Every structure is written in C-alpha cells, then in structure tokens.
Amino acid sequence: MRFWEPRRLLYNTVLGIFVVAWIVATWPRFRPAFVLSSLPSLAGLALIANVCYCAAYLVDPLIRHSAAAVRTRRRWGLWLLGTMLAVVVKNYWIADEIYPFVQ
C-alpha cells in the first residue's frame, strides 16, 4: 500500500485532466448535461475507476519478491500501463457511450 496509495491521487488527476479536456473541447454540447441529477452517475464512474485501480493489488505480490531496484521499476511500469489503459477506456467510454447521447 505504501507504493500504490500515494499514486492514486496522481492516477485520478491524470484521468481528471482527460475528462476536463473532453468537456472543454466540446463544451457547447456537454453544457446541458451538467445538472444535479447527473452527479450520481459521475460519482459512480469515478468509483469504478478507483475500483479498477485496485487491480494492481492483485499483481503486486508477484512483483514484491523482486530486488528493490527491479521492484520499483516494475511497479512504476505497472502503474504507467494501468493508467494508460484507464485513459484509453475513459476516452472510449466518453466518445462512444456518453458523447453521442448528450443533447
């Protein structure tokens, strides 16, 4: 947990930057969707992203038995790979599932 939890904030920041970029780039189309009733859906999506972040805990026991320098590189590699996958999934989700239905 000492490695993963401090990086959760960075993970959420990276994902947040991409969401804000989508909103800014397509603001006229997204503006009507920003109502109080959409807040639970947004919170649910944020919760799903953080649950997916916990997948690193399933792989970490395999990494933990490596030498310290190798372990750090592998953990950073896993973090980067997982974050890139989350960005791709989030962009797909917004582009394919949310954006077409915003009036």
Q: What is the C-alpha separation between 99 and 84, in angstroms, rounded?
A: 21
Q: How many domains does the chain have?
A: 1
Q: What is the C-alpha separation between 79 and 14, in angstroms, rounded?
A: 12
pLDDT of residue 99: 66
pTM of the shown model? 0.78
pLDDT in tens, 59-90: 888 888 888 888 889 899 999 999 999 999 88
Residues 6+ apart with CB under 8 A from 23: 30
Report the interhelical angle of 4-25 vs 56-64 (nearest 10°).
140
pLDDT in tens, 17-73: 998 898 888 888 777 777 888 788 778 888 888 898 888 888 888 888 888 888 889
Assess whether pLDDT exceeds 90 at residue 96.
Answer: no
For residue 17, the enclosing domain spans 4-101
Tokens (6 digits) for 103: 């009036």
